[in-house]
Structure 1
Amino acid sequence: MKTPQTPLAHAARLSVAPMMDWTDRHCRHLHRLMSRHALLYTEMVTAAAVVHGDTARLLAYGQAEHPVALQLGGSDPALLAQATRIACDMGYDEVNLNCGCPSDRVQSGRFGAILMTEPDLVAACVRAMRDAADVPVTVKCRIGVDDQDPTHVLPDFLDRVSGAGVDRFTIHARKAWLQGLSPKENRDIPPLDYDLVMAMKNRAPHLHLSVNGGIATLDQAQTFLDAGLDGVMIGRAAYHDPSTVLLDADARIFGDGTPGDAVQIVHAMLPYIDAHVGQGGRLGQVTRHMLGLFQGRPGARLWRRHLSEHVHEDGAGVQVVLDALGHVTELAA
């Protein structure tokens, strides 16, 4: 049985990973201008914060961001159900449960990667979330944690959680070492096992499986898609070098459109920046996500330096961005 191709599943052919302190609404607006089709994820938000905190601030997003998914952290089925219902009421296209984050904070809160050791609890969580949702509920996980054997743990995890009704998973193809490695080290040191992720797809072709971890280019992404995986999630490369990853994504991955241009993207961001600053926001809240737009191009260092040096000045707004852009366009002339 083939994986069902819904519009959201099609968008998941290429997604930008949820990244703490990075994929906020300003970042997602930029990324959406660069790709009309890629699936975008929020930073992880705890279910408790959604239910008991400043929901309007935590879950704010722009309508232009669709398709956009909210990633939740938590392990209380009832609380996750409440947060899922709120997300649906706010119009999110998908709710994703984090079973992959390795930070100390999520371990103490009994969510994130530690949930790889409790697949039955994850199944209970997603069952409650699905009962509360009118949009897809998905899971992002690792291949295992600590001394677990991924060849046994991952298929069992997928079986139990898919048995609760989830049919779309994103698998970070590394173990998470909760003892002895920092969150940063967990993104690089544990070896990648792409073959295991592919084996899971061959074992359960009805599941929609995306691979994540160490993928930096569209060439790599296309290789995984050609091999039979349903989707590819790119994280840090999409943030630090968004032009390389996203400007050509619609044409190459989705077969729709022509490659974009980073200079045009800067101009397209100006009305958004002007509105944000006009509402009392700070220029740097937006432009910090734009620093990598010209990565590898002449003028990139001057672009970054000009923005970094001038965003904090009184009255800083679109003119600072245009002046920074001038360093790039002058060298390209």
Structure 2
Amino acid sequence: MPLESALTPETTRPTLSRRFSVAPMMDWTDRHCRFFLRQLSRQALLYTEMVTTGALLHGDSARFLRHSEAEYPLALQLGGSVPDELAACAKLAQSAGYDEVNLNVGCPSDRVQNNMIGACLMAHPALVADCVKAMRDTVSIPVTIKHRIGIDGRDSYAELCDFVGQISEAGCQSFTVHARIAILAGLSPKENREVPPLRYEVAAQIKRDFPHLEIILNGGIKRLEDCHVHLQTFDGVMLGREAYHNPYLLAEVDRQLFGATTPVLSRIEAMQSMRAYIAAHLAEGGSMHHITRHMLGLGQGFHGARRFRQLLSVDIHRTSAPLALFDQAAQLLEGR
């Protein structure tokens, strides 16, 4: 059965598992990206972009919460540090149908620091614990956290244990650990993803010292072979930019990591599974580029890949027949 029909809202809601997830990424993991990734993997847990409490409580909450039921299992990542506000947003997330609420304690950008959001919260474990407790007291869906192994000025292992310990005492049972510190003074967000060294051994020690907690490893993971290795130590793995730039790796996730026996989609099948979704978006007045910008990674490693990407990133802005151009690009995936 094609995934386009297999993933309709009428099908049984899948069980949430954090064995494999795709990280929340600003400007990337929007609802169109998530719908596309879901065509490739039925089991991967998908995350929204980070949404601030202010955006949800004082902005267009319907737009920020909008998603398709075909995206499940799906988690909403929140940015904030006021317990009551986070609780109100968690309630909105549960009402909207999300499977999980995740608190961002890892983003290092200046903008979120100035609003007490993201990695700077690692210096305030008691406040984070209050935030987690407020959300858990309000909703029945899981409340999880994504964090670094430390920040500049608070990067000892003892301080990390104190952080995890206080948050777990507030009731959080699942921690996604980006195995780098965040350097909040002097490095850009991009540099913070690359300059601080990966220290998987620190995350592994957290799992040993807190064996009752679910510990998900994030940071620098690029291959499913690496996922198999890390899953011998951790409860799950989270991929970020590699999953976005090379999305076809998700086509093997269900079979390799979840033991599924369903056929693996070819690249052209993954492409074609999006056609009806794109047509519906165009009918609503949307642009095909809103969706296909997330699909450029299908064009990797074969003759014609460059032309595929050019059609969907350059020519797309010049055409008056977007679906015809889409079909032209899809033909380049024939046999891939």
Q: Deviations over 1:294-332 (max 9, x none)?
A: 322222111001112222235343221111122333xx5
The whole-number CA distance in structure 2 between the counterparts of 1:253 and 1:188 is: 27
Whether 1:188 and 2:194 are equivalent positions in the alignment is: yes
Whether 1:103 and 2:114 are equivalent positions in the alignment is: no
Structure 1 stretches of 5 or more lacking a match? 1-5
Whether 1:307 and 2:307 are equivalent positions in the alignment is: no
2:10 maps to which residue?
none
Query: Deviation above 6 Å: which 4+ runs of structure 1?
Result: none
The whole-number CA distance in structure 1 between the counterparts of 2:97 and 2:328 is: 37
1:3 maps to which residue?
none
The whole-number CA distance in structure 1 between the counterparts of 2:211 and 2:59 is: 40
Shift of 1:64: 0.1
Determine which of 35, 40, 58 is the counterpart of 2:46: 40
2:21 maps to which residue?
15
Paired AA for residue 191 in structure 2: E
CA contact (8 A) 2:155 2:181 kept: no
Determine which of 251, 255, 258 is the counterpart of 1:254: 258
Identity rate, percent:
50
CA contact (8 A) 2:272 2:330 kept: no
Determine which of 322, 327, 331 is the counterpart of 1:317: 322
- Aligned residue pairs total 322
Determine which of 275, 300, 313 is the counterpart of 1:295: 300
The whole-number CA distance in structure 1 between the counterparts of 2:314 and 2:166 is: 52
Shift of 1:236: 0.1
Determine which of 267, 271, 279 is the counterpart of 1:274: 279
For the structure 1 residues 316 and 116, does the alpha-carbon distance in structure 2 shift closer, same or farther, using more than 3 Å as the test? farther
1:238 maps to which residue?
243
Where 2:150 maps in the other structure, the secondary structure is coil
Shift of 1:128: 0.3
The whole-number CA distance in structure 1 between the counterparts of 2:225 and 2:264 is: 15
TM norm structure 1: 0.94
Determine which of 184, 207, 215 is the counterpart of 1:201: 207
Deviates more, 1:306-315 or 1:251-260: 306-315
Paired AA for residue 188 in structure 2: S
Shift of 1:41: 0.1
Determine which of 15, 30, 40 is the counterpart of 2:36: 30
The whole-number CA distance in structure 1 between the counterparts of 2:15 and 2:156 is: 31
For the structure 1 residues 258 and 198, does the alpha-carbon distance in structure 2 shift closer, same or farther, using more than 3 Å as the test? farther
Deviates more, 1:120-129 or 1:151-160: 151-160
Shift of 1:249: 0.2
Shift of 1:51: 1.2
CA contact (8 A) 1:247 1:260 kept: yes
Structure 2 stretches of 5 or more lacking a match? 1-13
CA contact (8 A) 1:172 1:211 kept: yes
Q: Deviations over 1:28-78 (max 9, x none)?
A: 000000000000000000011111110011110001000000000000000
CA contact (8 A) 1:75 1:121 kept: yes
Aligned CA-pair RMSD: 1.3
Where 1:96 maps in the other structure, the secondary structure is strand
Shift of 1:234: 0.1
The whole-number CA distance in structure 2 between the counterparts of 1:315 and 1:62 is: 27
Shift of 1:151: 1.1
Paired AA for residue 242 in structure 1: P
The whole-number CA distance in structure 1 between the counterparts of 2:151 and 2:255 is: 37
Paired AA for residue 127 in structure 1: K
CA contact (8 A) 1:23 1:42 kept: yes
CA contact (8 A) 2:288 2:322 kept: yes
CA contact (8 A) 1:212 1:234 kept: yes
Paired AA for residue 242 in structure 2: A
The whole-number CA distance in structure 1 between the counterparts of 2:155 and 2:333 is: 50
The whole-number CA distance in structure 2 between the counterparts of 1:309 and 1:18 is: 26
2:230 maps to which residue?
224
**Map of 1:85-96 to 2, 5 A cutoff?**
85-96=91-102
Q: Deviations over 1:207-255 (max 9, x none)?
A: 00100000011111111002x21000000000000112x0100000111
